[in-house]
């Protein structure tokens, strides 16, 4: 059994005081939830304060990105070591907004992934096709490339305890258009097959594949009911404590 992983990506939203307020509002709403791993990913600026607010709770914290060096002349970047220092146990890598707006390649994301894991972080590694790629029949090719190149070089057992794959069709992110549970299941099954081809059955059976793209409290349960959907990565709906708590509970 794979334990569902539900993560909120707060993106570039909330000043520190509002981020702490959201974390504090969320804590009592999910404190009795068992059987779901819960993560929130605030902005870099709010990590330290939110990390303090979450101490002793059942909510872990993640960053939205990291740079694959420990320290040095990399203006504007943060290392995994710095993220661990402020209380992160997770980071997102390869979100479609990083791929699209910041032109992060599969090779660079693979470098980040390996460095983050070696540094002790757990990673939600995002993949997903654009609408154009889906419509032109290239979805499977895109997912194959993102999985094959993005996860290249990971070592079977050790690394995959700490990696989740987030399938996030780009056309469903922030658009209000959710993949149907059938579309999500089809893509997740395909990705699990890629993992099996690349890393074998033990890995493919244990890796959690989250769905992301306009997940809301009222569609989370039907997505989670699919056998290959092991949680969600939630953007917009994670900015409201009751909405995110509803998604967490629907995933339990």
What's the closest the beta carbon of residue 95 comes to ligand PEP, in angstroms?
Answer: 6
- Please pick, among 95, 129, 185, 188, the residue that the annotation labels catalytic: 95
Of 124 and 203, which CB lies nearer to ligand PEP in the complex structure? 124
Q: What is the CA radius of gyration of the chain?
A: 17
Record the tokens describing residue 134, joined without a space: 């889906």
> Would you say 65 and 98 are in contact if contact means Cβ atoms under 8 Å apart?
yes
CA distance 149 to 18: 38
Of 191 and 234, which CB lies nearer to ligand PEP in the complex structure? 234
Record the tokens describing residue 158, joined without a space: 């050790």
> Measured at CB, which residue is nearest to ligand PEP?
235
The alpha carbon of 27 is separated from its chain's Cα centroid by a whole number of angstroms, namely 20
Clarify whether 168 is annotated catalytic.
yes
Of 7 and 78, which CB lies nearer to ligand PEP in the complex structure? 7
- Please pick, among 37, 97, 133, 168, the residue that the annotation labels catalytic: 168
- Owner of token pair 């099996």: 196
CA distance 216 to 238: 9
> Would you say 84 and 121 are in contact if contact means Cβ atoms under 8 Å apart?
yes
Q: What is the DSSP letter of 174?
A: T
What's the closest the beta carbon of residue 8 comes to ligand PEP, in angstroms?
Answer: 9
Of 110 and 238, which CB lies nearer to ligand PEP in the complex structure? 238
Clarify whether 104 is annotated catalytic.
no
Q: Residues 103, 117, 127, 143: what is their CA dihedral angle, to the nearest 10 degrees? A: 110
Which residues make up the interface to ligand PEP (CB under 6 A)?
9, 168, 173-174, 212-215, 233-237
According to DSSP H, which parts of 31-155 are helical? Answer: 47-54, 80-85, 96-101, 106-119, 131-135, 139-150
Positions marked catalytic: 95, 168
């Amino acid at each position: 059994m794979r334990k569902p992983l539900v993560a909120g990506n707060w993106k570039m939203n909330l000043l520190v005081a509002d981020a702490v307020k959201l974390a504090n509002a969320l804590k009592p709403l999910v404190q009795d939830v068992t059987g779901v791993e819960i993560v929130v990913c605030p902005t870099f600026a709010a990590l330290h304060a939110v990390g303090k607010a979450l101490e002793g709770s059942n909510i872990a914290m993640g960053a939205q990105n990291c740079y694959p060096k420990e320290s040095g002349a990399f203006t504007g970047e943060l290392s995994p070591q710095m993220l661990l220092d402020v209380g992160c146990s997770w980071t997102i890598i390869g979100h479609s907004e990083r791929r699209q707006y910041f032109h992060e390649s599969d090779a660079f994301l693979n470098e980040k992934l390996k460095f983050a894991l070696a540094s002790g972080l757990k990673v939600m590694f995002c993949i997903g096709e654009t609408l154009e790629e889906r419509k032109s029949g290239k979805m499977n090719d895109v997912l194959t490339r993102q999985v094959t190149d993005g996860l290249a070089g990971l070592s079977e057992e050790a690394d995959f305890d700490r990696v989740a794959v987030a399938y996030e069709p780009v056309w469903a992110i922030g658009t209000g258009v959710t993949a149907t549970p059938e579309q999500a299941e089809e893509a997740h099954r395909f990705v699990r097959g890629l993992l099996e081809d690349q890393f074998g059955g033990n890995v493919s059976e244990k890796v959690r594949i989250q769905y992301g793209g306009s997940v809301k409290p009222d569609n989370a349960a039907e997505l989670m009911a699919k056998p290959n959907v092991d949680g969600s990565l939630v953007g917009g709906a994670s900015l409201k404590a009751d909405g995110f708590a509803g998604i967490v509970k629907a995933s339990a």
